[in-house]
Structure 1
């Protein structure tokens, strides 16, 4: 960047451009709307034609923040259709500097439309379509659909992880993907029966989603990085097959050690949580044997305090 600035300044000087072509200020626009205005002397140093690059860079960083548009990944809609993503855009700093110097020393117009370059979504339509080619892991657990608040929380958490793509070498964190569980995000106080006693908590029930995901990911042969088990058995998975989570506390994390991305699909409804793991038809995966859960409706139980489980899942 320093050589680019020096070369461009030398070019301007050789062209015998004189400073102070404009007596007014400079206006910067983005998509036709003003986003910044300043004096033409705002970044000049006393020695022509040098600039105070520290001031200039702070200003450009702020312009970058104001004009950046984040790309939107393609996703799978409610009916299973692929919804295309959208490109974002980012400030083209090199082109902006050229236009800025043209204004200051080249007699250009005292207005700059922010130059941008496209930022493409990480997950596009083509990738999503290819990842639906092969199912490499699947798991189902059951719950009492009559417990309305707990069922609501389970459905919210399942929807949050549905459609997540984990690229080769990346890790999936349940807490990071689902986010904090608050009433503002729609989670409810969920009441469950614990041997005749009632217990309530915001987001009660989501550990069933994380436990179902753990078993599906383990079946798919994904690398389990972090998992914590409840201090007592929970009835919706076989003994030792649970993965408890809480915001600011235990998390469930796995890593995609394959050379292909994987897609997480999740659904909850009618007393059933299903999580499946998909990838392309060229993936070479090594599934693991995981015991299935009985179709019998489990007795409701409070999600109790947790004990750590090593990454290999053994107690």
Structure 2
């Protein structure tokens, strides 16, 4: 019994140093219900129920970090850290509160989650242009123009780290009316039709021509079933949420920054990196 009390004291002391920011509290009454049935008043905790609680709290306190990015006005927006459940600290707190009668409640502890891309990285990898490509579209076709602008904004400021792959579908996401995409002309089996998100293939095709560089490996690309007017024949990259994707891999030793902008009938993609990107370490294919 003395050993158990000593363990509880040590756990309580360790838990008291935890920095808690989630503002989610568990009262003693709720904590006591996690005893192993039918022995709720014994030193046995139902570990299955505790793990289920941990899973629930992970979702409740989680905040995704936000990467630094460039705004439409070319203003650098700083990164915003997120947070996640500190599972180890929570287990210490929970077990201390379960065994220690004087602990009336606990505050769920969290730990920061830092963004992958911060403003210092963005500043560093915008110094050297590796490639660029421009295509043109009819700005009078508002639905198609809006789709192009939405998809361009989705890939703008995206960073592809060395050895990392870029998937157009993963980055842009599903093209739905709820996300602002509109019905516009698309090519389906060689025939013109209308569908949600029509026009975004011009974005993927412009991106393909911009990243067609020695240090980039094209992993997945499909051509349309008929020629398209915005790129030369054979230089397109069709995409569809339920079908083809455009995927490439960064074979350079430095991160790549994608800058994309669509406005007034011009679709522009630029590929940037740092000055030391000349050291090519990838495969030639």
TM-score, length-scaled by structure 1 = 0.76
* Structure 1 residues 57 and 207: alpha-carbon distance in aligned structure 2, compared to 1, 3 A threshold: same
Using the TM superposition, give the Cα deviation of residue 104 of structure 1 relative to its aligned residue in structure 2, in angstroms.
2.0
Indicate the residue corresponding to 2:95 in structure 1: 101
Q: Secondary structure at the match of 2:223?
A: strand
Using the TM superposition, give the Cα deviation of residue 200 of structure 1 relative to its aligned residue in structure 2, in angstroms.
2.3
Using the TM superposition, give the Cα deviation of residue 192 of structure 1 relative to its aligned residue in structure 2, in angstroms.
8.1
User: 5+ unaligned residues in a row in structure 2: which ranges?
Assistant: 10-19
Q: Secondary structure at the match of 2:162?
A: coil
Indicate the residue corresponding to 2:272 in structure 1: 278
RMSD over aligned Cα atoms: 2.7
Q: Secondary structure at the match of 1:73?
A: coil
TM-score, length-scaled by structure 2 = 0.84
- Equivalences, count: 265
Q: Secondary structure at the match of 1:265?
A: strand
Indicate the residue corresponding to 1:294 in structure 2: none
* Candidates 109, 115, 123, aligned match of 2:109: 115
Indicate the residue corresponding to 1:134 in structure 2: 128
Using the TM superposition, give the Cα deviation of residue 30 of structure 1 relative to its aligned residue in structure 2, in angstroms.
6.3
Q: Distance in 2 between matches of 1:139 and 1:87?
A: 33
Q: Secondary structure at the match of 2:130?
A: strand
Q: Is the contact made by 1:173 and 1:252 (CA closer than 8 Å) also made in structure 2?
A: yes
* Candidates 149, 155, 162, aligned match of 2:156: 162
Which has more helix, going by share of residues?
Answer: 2
Q: Distance in 2 between matches of 1:190 and 1:16?
A: 65
Q: Secondary structure at the match of 1:218?
A: coil
Q: Secondary structure at the match of 2:211?
A: helix
- After superposition, residues 48-67 of structure 1 pair within 5 angstroms as 48-67=42-61
Q: Is the contact made by 2:186 and 2:199 (CA closer than 8 Å) also made in structure 1?
A: no
Q: Distance in 2 between matches of 1:44 and 1:51?
A: 5
Indicate the residue corresponding to 1:187 in structure 2: 181
* Candidates 155, 173, 176, aligned match of 2:167: 173
- After superposition, residues 74-89 of structure 1 pair within 5 angstroms as 74-89=68-83
Q: Which moved more, 1:68-77 or 1:92-101?
A: 92-101
Residue deviations 1:177-231 (CA, integer Å, cap 9, x gap): 11111222211222489xxx97422211111111000000113631100000012
User: 5+ unaligned residues in a row in structure 1: which ranges?
Assistant: 1-8, 18-28, 287-311
Aligned: 1:238 with 2:241: no
Q: Secondary structure at the match of 2:135?
A: strand
